Chains A and B, each alone.
Chain A
Amino acid sequence: AQTVTQSQPEMSVQEAETVTLSCTYDTSESDYYLFWYKQPPSRQMILVIRQEAYKQQNATENRFSVNFQKAAKSFSLKISDSQLGDAAMYFCAYRSASSNDMRFGAGTRLTVKP
């Protein structure tokens, strides 16, 4: 069974600085998708970024980028120029290309200090 591990329960960053959130996963499959979701106190889960395993290029969305290391089964999220609105729980998620249940990590709570 696929598992997703986020080893940092909490992280903090100074406003305007850069922070990296870690995620590792375990799978025997070669075709899959990886996601980072953000859940602010309002509870709404918001998609931050998505990566297809077959793509070697790391996904980027404005201030958010990933470091996808397929051999190491690592999928970290880098947030540049952190803003107060980035404060939230961040969940890493895995989805096999052959099924549609998502496996989520336990989450990392990010605090942004002004």
Chain B
Amino acid sequence: EAGVTQSPTHLIKTRGQQATLRCSPISGHTSVYWYQQALGLGLQFLLWYDEGEERNRGNFPPRFSGRQFPNYSSELNVNALELEDSALYLCASSRVAGPLRTDTQYFGPGTRLTVL
């Protein structure tokens, strides 16, 4: 069974540009989560998508946005990039185990975003 995949592996942008990161969940998983792992700051929850809808959002500004496609893959868009957006962005997926409940999250390898 293929795991969660993310692309690109590395992304270099300049301040003010936009970045688009992509994630494909494990087959059968309908929920996708995005996390930011900045150096020395641990993992911070960004967004949760399920069945094409944004279900929950972490404490990040609106220039962090995303969407989930009918095949459950997802994009994370970061507009007006700032230097502090440089981080590893991790995507995770899970099944839905019931109303308001999701199963264990499985992570992809991440996209390293560098903002110059």
Contact = CB atoms under 8 A, between A and B. Distances in A.
A75 interface: no
Interface in A68-108: 91, 93, 97-107
Interface residues of B, number: 25
A100 B56 contact: yes
Q: How large is the interface on A (under 10, 10 to 19, 20 to 34, 35 or more residues)?
A: 20 to 34
The B interface is mostly helix, strand or loop, or mixed, namely strand
A100 B48 contact: yes
A91 B104 contact: no
Contacts of A104: 42-43
A101 B42 contact: no
Interface of B: 31, 33, 35, 42-43, 45, 48, 55-56, 58, 88, 90, 92, 94, 100-102, 104-110, 112
Interface of A: 33, 35, 37, 42-47, 50, 91, 93, 97-107
